[in-house]
């Protein structure tokens, strides 16, 4: 197989995997941590959430692309209820560089939601359960979807596939209210991971999840381990670490299915050889700092690498989320 064909196959896999959002797997939170305060934000109170992302892609050890993004949201704790809280979240600003397909999509979707107030219900640990004004949010988001499709008007085949994917996503919003809430309130869901965990220092909680395979077949299984590393009772500060692992057999099967779908222009004998020798590895670790029961910072690092025929393409992503009160 020629070098260009090898790299093309690996690039196709990475682009499809990164663009599909297949690797998201939030962990449910439950209970109050031993030695730490429970989640109990002031009513009313307002908070800024700043999420920053830096991504670096390498090919055979050389950096080939870097992208960065930043967004700022405002979280308002509106009311305390018998089972949790009512909140509102507004995306105030965002910025992402690059002109890749992923960047174009992100700009359109986030732009459609800017300054749209999302009113939601969360549980006692701050985990989103339901969006109260879902119809309004979905209507705004659809405008962003239309912009994404329009951006690929010169590529009808790609536009049709994107439309099919987006229509599938939108059809799920009314069937799964909790997943929809976690999707639209991604950062709030992330923060809730480390709130009210019920863990003692050194204790771990394991959680498994099966996600639908986009190509059919067995579900994609992941396992998350959340560990309370340390607590300072005097300051109310706690540190937790979460690691995410993927079922190796399921990922291998997914790799093969994805390659079969995406390498139609590659000779069958060459594609088969790539499939046999390709390997996929994923590492994902996140650190949470909790103060007085509320997550105040999140630092995440993930790395995904595809190796095939002596070549390697990888993506390293560093994420930083900080939360501060608004006077």
Nearest to 221 by CA among 236, 207, 237: 207
What CATH number is associated with residue 13?
2.30.230
In contact, 138 and 173? CB cutoff 8 Å: yes
Q: Which residue carries 């909140």 as its tokens?
A: 87
Kindly report the number of other CB atoms within 10 A of residue 302's CB atom: 17
| CA dist list (Å): 85 to 53, 130, 326 | 29, 11, 19
CA–CA separation, 191 and 171 (whole Å): 27
Q: The domain containing residue 39 runs over which residues?
A: 3-326
pLDDT at 183: 87
The tokens for 196 are: 């009210």
CA–CA separation, 27 and 196 (whole Å): 12
CA–CA separation, 220 and 207 (whole Å): 14
Report how many domains make up the chain.
1
CA angle (67 as vertex; 254, 317 as ends), nearest 5: 50
Contacts of 10 (CB under 8 A, 6+ apart): 274, 278, 306, 308, 311, 313
Q: What is the pLDDT along the chain (327 residues), one digit of tens a residue?
A: 333 333 333 333 334 333 333 333 333 333 443 456 799 999 999 999 999 999 999 999 899 988 899 999 999 999 999 999 999 999 999 998 866 667 777 788 888 899 999 999 999 999 999 999 999 998 898 888 888 788 777 888 777 777 777 777 777 766 788 888 998 999 999 999 999 999 999 999 999 877 665 555 667 778 999 999 999 988 889 999 999 987 767 666 666 666 666 555 556 666 666 666 777 778 899 999 999 999 999 999 999 887 876 788 899 999 999 999 999
Question: pTM above the 0.85 mark?
Answer: no
Nearest to 323 by CA among 18, 8, 41, 29: 41
The model's pLDDT over 244-279, given as tens digits with 9 standing for 90+, comes to 987 767 666 666 666 666 555 556 666 666 666 777
Calculate the dihedral angle through the C-alpha atoms of 29, 33, 36, 37, rounding to the nearest 10 degrees.
Answer: 60
pLDDT at 147: 82
Contacts of 139 (CB under 8 A, 6+ apart): none
């Amino acid at each position: 197989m020629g070098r260009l064909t090898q790299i093309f196959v690996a690039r196709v896999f990475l682009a499809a995997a990164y663009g599909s959002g297949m690797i998201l797997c939030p962990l449910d939170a439950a209970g109050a941590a031993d030695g730490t305060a429970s989640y109990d934000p002031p009513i009313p109170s307002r908070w800024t959430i700043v999420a920053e992302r830096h991504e670096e892609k390498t090919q055979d050890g050389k950096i080939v692309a870097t992208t960065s993004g930043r967004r700022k949201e405002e979280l308002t704790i509106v009311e305390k209820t018998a089972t949790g809280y009512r909140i509102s979240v507004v995306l105030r600003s965002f910025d992402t560089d690059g002109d890749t397909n992923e960047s174009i999509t992100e700009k359109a979707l986030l732009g459609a939601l800017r300054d749209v107030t999302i009113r939601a219900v969360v549980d006692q640990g701050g985990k989103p359960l339901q969006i109260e004004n879902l119809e309004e949010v979905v209507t705004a988001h659809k405008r962003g979807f239309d912009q994404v499709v329009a951006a690929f008007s010169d590529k009808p085949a790609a536009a049709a596939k994107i439309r099919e994917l987006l229509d599938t996503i939108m059809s799920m919003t009314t069937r799964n209210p909790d997943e929809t809430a976690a999707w639209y309130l991604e950062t709030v869901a992330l923060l809730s991971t480390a709130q009210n965990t019920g863990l003692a220092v050194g204790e771990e909680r394991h959680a498994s999840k099966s996600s639908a395979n986009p190509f059919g077949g067995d579900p994609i299984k992941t396992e998350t381990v959340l560990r309370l590393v340390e607590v300072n009772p005097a300051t109310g500060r706690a540190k937790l670490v979460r690691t995410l692992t993927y079922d190796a057999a399921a990922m291998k099967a997914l790799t093969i299915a994805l390659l079969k779908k995406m390498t139609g222009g590659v000779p069958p004998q060459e594609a088969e050889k790539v499939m046999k020798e390709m390997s996929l590895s994923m590492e994902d670790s996140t650190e949470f700092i909790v103060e007085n029961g509320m997550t105040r910072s999140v630092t995440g690092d993930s790395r995904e690498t595809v190796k095939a025929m002596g070549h390697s393409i990888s993506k390293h992503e560093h994420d930083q989320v900080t939360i501060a009160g608004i006077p």
